Amino acid sequence: MTFEGAYHHVMNRGIKGMDIFRNDIAKDNYLQLLQEKSRKLKIRLLAYCVMDNHYHLILQNNSGKLSDFMKQLNGHYGIIYRQREGGKGYVFQSRYKSTLIQKGVYLRMAIVYVLLNPVRAGIVENPFNYKWSSIYEYFNDRDKGIVDNEFVEDMLQSREVFNYLLKEWSDKKLPVKRTRFGSIIGGEDFKEEALKKYDRREKRDKSRRRRKDDYIFGTEEEVIKNFEEEKRVRLKDIKTHTLKGKVLRAELLVLLKDRSGLKYREIIEYPLFHSLKQSSLGQLYKNAKRRIEEK
């Protein structure tokens, strides 16, 4: 089960437990595809860990295209693997396994759990000694990775909290619950909320009339075009010295972040945001996101 905006822990294994990521070249091929497909299909990647015979991902289904994303990711890697190793048939064991995650403490828990996979497997004692996870992409001031490190850093709050959670969760398991519509990590209230969102998605009206938050998922150009049409204003005409202009700018920031997957360093390049400091965008995003969700 999934819906637009849902968070997931996704994993899959090589067929019959085979080491389909047995060397650095194979793992690097997979990560290149992961970056390409997540950007193409607007899936927000929060964490990853690639082992010799399986992988773990924590992601957000921003575009509602999780199934297409996984099909393309696994399918394309399967082609590369067979071209490199030879043979025929399936490369992955089965359809990917996906667990729905509640935002907040449960999402932090899932991210840390994934990063600790090499420790639990006995490969390393220190998770920072494992090369093929996203652990180095947080709090490193480089911002060149493939995950949305800004989102994760905002959620974790500090490097100290991050290090504490890595120690705290070194020997713990995720509290996965089985439900009639799939596995979840979250509380009872989340289970009911998720089911309602899923039902609404299945039953929603097919008319062309869209709700306020139903912008088309796609490139930043598409998001901006729909924003301008919805608000009946051109970006160049927004006056950011006025309250209305500041509100519009903040709403666009949320859309560019959530719908296009842009990072703050990319958003700041737009003229509308030139008067702001990149370091201020995180707080501006959180405040605007909260106001939008309260409406």
Same domain, 58 and 146: yes
pLDDT tens by residue, 239-277: 999 999 999 999 999 988 887 778 888 888 888 998 999
Same domain, 186 and 224: no
Q: Is the pLDDT of residue 31 over 90?
A: yes
Mean pLDDT of 6-12: 95
Residue 2 falls inside a structural domain: no
Neighbours of 148 (CB within 10 A): 22
pLDDT tens by residue, 69-126: 999 999 999 999 988 888 888 899 878 899 999 999 999 999 999 999 999 999 999 9
Same domain, 64 and 176: yes
Instruction: Note the pTM of the prediction, 2 decimals.
Output: 0.74
Domain count, the chain: 2
Round to whole Å and give the CA distance between 108 and 155: 7
CA distances from 135 to 57, 94, 118, 259 (A): 12, 27, 11, 25
Contacts of 115 (CB under 8 A, 6+ apart): 47, 49, 127, 133, 134, 135, 166
Same domain, 138 and 242: no
Owning domain of residue 93: 7-190
Query: What's the CATH number where 114 sits?
Result: 3.30.70.1290
pLDDT tens by residue, 63-75: 889 999 999 999 9
Q: Is the pLDDT of residue 198 over 80?
A: no
In 3D space, the residue among 34, 43, 41 whose CA is nearest the CA of residue 7 turns out to be 43
For residue 84, the SS3 value is helix
Residue 203 falls inside a structural domain: no
Same domain, 142 and 233: no
Please report which helix (H) or strand (E) contains residue 112, including its range: helix 105-115
Residue 206 falls inside a structural domain: no
Q: Is the pLDDT of residue 289 over 50?
A: yes
Q: Provide the pLDDT confidence category of residue 205 given band limits of 50, 70 and 90.
A: very low
